[in-house]
């Protein structure tokens, strides 16, 4: 039974920062921030969940079945993540590349304390706890003095794949495309730092400040951290409606308004970028059809341009109505990993990229999000994100781009560096 209390918040932006600072005392933290980005499908401006009452942590073996049982028996708020390597649960695949982070393949927890902020209205939900504790915590949060981050010394970031090696690998991918093994694939490379000591809170504050992305996440599970400035939604469920919003297509922002508009128009009219986006839209339509009511899959927006602080992105929106015979976790299992981070045809692509990539993706290109007590959910795509294992002092971030028959390896490499810019800035 959750105790629910409502509060009016005079300064929501300041309160979000106070919430995040207060949360650092707990072993488990999920802080989701939409950064007031104008989006049609947002349920909250900010959500904070802390302090596990129960949790599930597992490798990929039977992971979705375990999650389904946990979600259906708990029937409460659950927050956590799905790593890319859950592909091995869904298909006959493996992940044997190097992994410097060593996160569990799946982790969710049922929080004792939950804060939901929308506009000036804050809802606080505590599990089995008395009103006195809610009031004490609210007072403690409100009294925190927030000071903007002060950047500490940086760390030296290395690149796992050199430019020459990257071009060689993308050339091999083009050979697979010309041989008819695949049409499009998302190929990723890692940047990393060893013996790295960072302040995760400070790095997240800086990353969030320079990105202000709609699906930002600060995640902590003991000594494992995700600092995410993701612009992409993987999948959201509201009642029987499912919403997926894959991103394919990127161009850089410019401080010059004329140049910026040109970059946006170039992206909108670029035949290669549109072809990429349409291929993934088709893949998502197919994925959603597995659990959809007949004839309910619909493309609501195709190749629409959205602007973020760092880049312009091409995004499509696909919706469906869920057939009541399927559970919330069934939907995740039949659509995971997301099309924008794999390619088409999905299984063939996942085998090829596993052979050509140098690093196990882990939580990168997985998803972070929540289930509500009624079985609704919302998950992002873990991109534009820094991962940190405090115990072994390993920092990692990866970037990727879509390889199609029209791809020029050097240009794909430049796109990767553009996507890596914010994380480099934060860490170095």
Mind telling me the catalytic residues? 232, 248
**Buried b / exposed e across 124-163, counting CB within 10 Å, b at 16+?**
bbbbeeeeeebeebbeebeeeebeebeeeeebebeebbee
Sign for the CA dihedral angle at 54, 60, 62, 67 comes to positive
Residue with tokens 């781009």: 401
The DSSP 8-state label assigned to residue 86 in this structure reads G
User: Which residue has tokens 């998502």?
Assistant: 284
Q: How far is CA 45 from CA 51, 155, 202, 427, in A?
A: 21, 32, 21, 27
Q: Which of 292, 194, 193 is nearest to 242 (CA)?
A: 292
- What phi and psi, each to the nearest 5 degrees, are found at residue 420? -85, -10
Q: What stretches of 131-271 adopt beta strand conformation (E)? A: 158-159, 184-193, 215-221, 224-230, 233-238, 241-245, 247-252
Beta-carbon neighbour count of residue 304 at 10 Å? Answer: 14
Decide the pairing of beta strands 46-58 and 106-118: antiparallel
Alpha-carbon distance values, 157 to 76, 150, 196, 217 (Å):
40, 20, 9, 22
- Between CA 314 and CA 46 the distance in angstroms is 25
Residue that has been written with the tokens 């009219």 in this structure: 269
* Number of neighbouring beta carbons within 10 Å of residue 98: 11
């Amino acid at each position: 039974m959750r105790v629910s209390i409502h509060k009016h918040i005079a300064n929501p932006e300041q309160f979000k920062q106070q919430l995040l600072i207060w949360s650092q005392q707990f072993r488990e933290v999920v802080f989701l921030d939409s950064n007031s980005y104008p989006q049609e499908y947002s349920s909250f401006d900010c959500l904070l969940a802390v302090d596990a009452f129960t949790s599930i942590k597992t490798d990929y073996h039977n992971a979705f079945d375990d999650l389904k049982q946990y979600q259906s028996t708990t029937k409460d708020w659950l927050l956590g993540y799905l790593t890319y390597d859950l592909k091995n649960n869904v298909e006959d695949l493996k992940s044997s590349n190097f992994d410097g982070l060593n996160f569990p393949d799946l982790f969710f927890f049922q929080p004792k304390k939950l804060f939901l902020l929308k506009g000036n209205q804050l809802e606080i939900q505590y599990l089995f706890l008395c009103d006195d504790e809610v009031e004490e915590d609210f007072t403690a949060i409100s009294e925190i003095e927030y000071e903007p981050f002060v950047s500490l010394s940086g760390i030296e970031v290395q690149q796992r794949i050199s430019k020459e090696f990257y071009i060689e690998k993308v050339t091999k991918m083009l050979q697979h495309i010309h041989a008819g093994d695949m049409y499009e694939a998302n190929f990723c490379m890692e940047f990393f730092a060893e013996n790295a000591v960072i302040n995760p809170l400070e790095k997240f504050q800086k990353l969030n400040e320079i990105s202000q992305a709609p699906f930002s996440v600060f995640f902590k599970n003991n000594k494992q951290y995700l600092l995410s400035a993701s612009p992409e939604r993987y999948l959201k469920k509201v009642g029987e409606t499912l919403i997926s919003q894959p991103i394919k297509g990127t161009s850089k922002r410019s401080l010059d308004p004329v140049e910026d508009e040109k970059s946006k128009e170039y992206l909108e009219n670029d035949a290669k970028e549109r072809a990429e986006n349409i291929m993934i839209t088709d893949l998502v339509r197919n994925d959603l059809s597995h659990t959809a009511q007949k004839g309910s899959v619909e493309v609501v927006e195709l190749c629409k341009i959205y602007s973020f602080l760092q880049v312009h992105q091409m995004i499509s929106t696909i919706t469906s109505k869920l057939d009541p015979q399927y559970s919330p976790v069934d939907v995740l299992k039949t659509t995971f990993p997301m099309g924008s981070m794999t390619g088409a045809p999905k299984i063939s692509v996942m085998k090829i990229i596993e052979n050509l990539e140098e690093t196990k993706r882990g939580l990168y290109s997985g998803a972070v999000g929540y289930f509500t007590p009624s079985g609704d959910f919302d998950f992002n795509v873990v991109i534009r994100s820094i991962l940190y294992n405090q115990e072994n002092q390993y920092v990692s971030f990866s970037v990727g781009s879509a390889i199609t028959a029209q791809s020029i390896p050097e240009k794909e490499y430049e796109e990767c560096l553009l996507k890596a810019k914010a994380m480099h800035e934060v860490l170095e």
